[in-house]
Amino acid sequence: MVPRTDMDFETAIGLEVHVQLRTKSKAFSRSRCSFGEEPNRATDPVVLGLPGALPVLNGEAIRQIVRAGMLFDCTIAELCHWDRKNYFYPDSPKNYQITQQEKPICRGGAVEIELPGPARNVQGAHRKVRLNRIHLEEDVGKLSHGGSRSLVDFNRAGVPLAEIVSEPDLQGAEEVAAFLNAIRTYLSYAAISDCDMEKGQMRCDVNVSLKPKGDGPLGTRVEYKNLNSISGVRNAICHEIDRQSRILSAGGKISQETRRWDAKGNTSEGMRAKEMAHDYCYFPEPDIPPLRLSESELRPIRESLPERPFDRQRRFQESYGLPYTLTSVLCPSRPLADFFEAAAAGGADPKSVANLIANDLLREMALAGEEDFRIRPEELGELAKAIGAGRVPKQRAQDALAEAYRKRTGLSEFLENLPAPEDREDGAGQLKELCQRAIGACPKAVAEFRAGKSSAINAIKGFAMKESRGKVDPALLDKILRELL
C-alpha cells in the first residue's frame, strides 16, 4: 500500500453546541438561574429531584429557543415533546436528564459563517453551515474533585440549554472557530444567550472524522466532549486531525470513541467507546405534556427578532457605502452598530462617522477598558459634520473626542465654540449678493473681462471691497466673482 499523507484526506467536523438561554428561572422550575452564588443555593425540590416534585415548562425558555431557531432559519415544530435520557452520575440527582431526542423544537436551518483566510479582509467571503436541529434541554450540576473527596453544586442543574447540532459540514479548526463566533454574535444580538464561555454559558462537543479525498462516505468519527474555549476547540481539532491522519496513513483504522482533551499536555486520551442512543434508554418524559405552538404564538416571537448581524453588515455596506473592514468592526457588536446608526442619523458623512468610532472612540474605550461610550452618538455625528464642513481640522476634532472621552465631559461645549455653520452660510450668501451688485455696477469691466482682458476683474473686486469696507476675504471674493462671470 502507498502511504498516504495529510494532503490525501478530507476532514468533516460536526458540532453540538450547548448555550445557556437567558432566562430568570430554570427550564422546568421556578428556581433562579444565577452565577457565582454560594453552592446549592439556587435549587428547589424539582431541581433536586425530590419525590413528588413535578417539572413545569418555562415559557421564557421556549420563547428564547424558538427565537434561536428563527434566527437560524430552522423549521419550528408544530408539535414537540421531551424525553428522558437515563444515566447514573452524581451531577444529576434525578438520574436522568430532560432533553429532546425524538421531536426537537427546531429542525434544519443554517448558520452563516465568515470564511477564514485572506479573503476576509477584503470583502468577506461567507458560507452557510447546515444545522441538523436545535433542542431544549436542562443542564446538570457541577462536580469538583479534590483529594479524596468530590463535591457537587446543583446551582447550574436545570438551567435551560439550547443544544445546537450542526451537520458535519465544517472542514477545519478555523472554520469551527468562525462557526462558534457566528453563533455567539447572533445569539447575543438577540439577547438569547450571552454565550460567555468563561462562565460556562457556551460549551461544545466536537466530532471529527477523516476520509480519503473524493466522493465516498464519511469516515469514523471521534468525539471530544465539553470543550469550553475557542482555543481549546482549535487545538483539540488540530491534534485530532493529525492523530487520525497518522493512523490512516499507516494503514490503521479509527475506532469510534470519546476522547478527553488534555489542554495542558496538548494531547488526548481515549475515555470510552462512544455511547449509543440505546445506552440511554430514552423514553418520552411523562411529567411534561407535548407542546403545540400555533402561528398566533409564533408571530410575536418572530417580530421580536433583531436584524441579523451579517444582514446588517451588508446593509451598512450598501446603504452607507462603508468598506467591509469598517462594517466588520462595527457590526458584530449590537450596541456599537446602534451607536453608529444613531450618530449617522444626523446627516454626517457615514464613513467619517464610522472612522471616528472605529479608530478614535474604540481606542479610548480599549485604553479605559470600558464598554461605556461616554459620548452621545448625536455629538459624535455633529463632530463628523463639523469636520466635513471645514469648521474644525480633523486632527483637532480627534483630539477633542479623545479628551472628552477621558474627562467624561461630552462634546457639546467643544461643538458650541466652533464657528457656527449658519454664519458661514449666511456669509457666503451675502458675499454672492455683493458680487452680483458689483457686476451690475461695473458693466464696462465685465464686458472687457468677458472679452479676454483678465485684469479687468480688478475693477469689479475694487468696487466690492469698497462696498464691504474691506471686510471680505479677497481669495473668496475672487473665487465667487469668477464663478459668476
Look-up of cell digits 415544530: 77
Binding to ligand ADP by CB under 6 A, coded x per residue (else -) over 153-192, reads ------------xxxx------------------------
Phi then psi for residue 10, to 5 deg, are -110, 140
Residues 342-401 that bind ligand ADP (CB under 6 A): none
| Residue (of 478, 482, 447) closest to 461 by Cα position | 478
The reply to whether 245 sits near ligand ADP by the rule CB under 6 A is no
Query: Which residues, 6 or more positions from 278, have their beta carbon under 8 angstroms from its beta carbon?
Result: none
Choose the contact partner of 143 out of Mg ion, ligand ADP, none; CB within 5 to 8 A by kind: none
The reply to whether 218 sits near ligand ADP by the rule CB under 6 A is yes
Minimum distance between the CB of residue 250 and ligand ADP, rounded to whole angstroms? 20
Which of helix, strand or coil describes residue 395? helix
Binding to ligand ADP by CB under 6 A, coded x per residue (else -) over 196-215, reads -----------xxx------
The reply to whether 221 sits near ligand ADP by the rule CB under 6 A is yes
> Which cell goes with 173?
479548526
Single-letter residue type at 256: Q
Choose the contact partner of 349 out of Mg ion, ligand ADP, none; CB within 5 to 8 A by kind: none
Minimum distance between the CB of residue 211 and ligand ADP, rounded to whole angstroms? 8
Single-letter residue type at 427: G
Minimum distance between the CB of residue 34 and Mg ion, rounded to whole angstroms? 28
Number of residues that bind ligand ADP (CB under 6 A): 14
| Residue (of 257, 211, 261, 218) closest to 237 by Cα position | 261
> Which cell goes with 410?
461630552
CB atoms within 10 A of CB 179: 24
By CB under 5 A, which span of 49-57, 201-209, 292-300, 402-410 interacts with Mg ion?
A: 201-209
Name the residue nearer to ligand ADP (CB basis): 162 or 322. Answer: 162
Query: What DSSP string describes 318-370?
Result: HHH---HHHHHHHTTSHHHHHHHHHHHTTS--HHHHHHIIIIIIHHHHHHHT-
Choose the contact partner of 245 out of ligand ADP, Mg ion, none; CB within 5 to 8 A by kind: none
The reply to whether 104 sits near ligand ADP by the rule CB under 6 A is no
> Which cell goes with 470?
474691506
By CB under 5 A, which span of 153-161, 175-183, 199-207, 310-318 interacts with Mg ion?
A: 199-207
The reply to whether 16 sits near ligand ADP by the rule CB under 6 A is yes
> Which cell goes with 93?
440527582
The reply to whether 135 sits near ligand ADP by the rule CB under 6 A is no
Name the residue nearer to ligand ADP (CB basis): 108 or 427. Answer: 108
Rounded Cα–Cα distance for residues 336 and 427 (Å): 38
Torsion of CA 56, 60, 63, 64, to 10 degrees: -120
Binding site for ligand ADP (CB under 6 A): 12-16, 165-168, 207-209, 218, 221
Binding site for Mg ion (CB under 5 A): 205
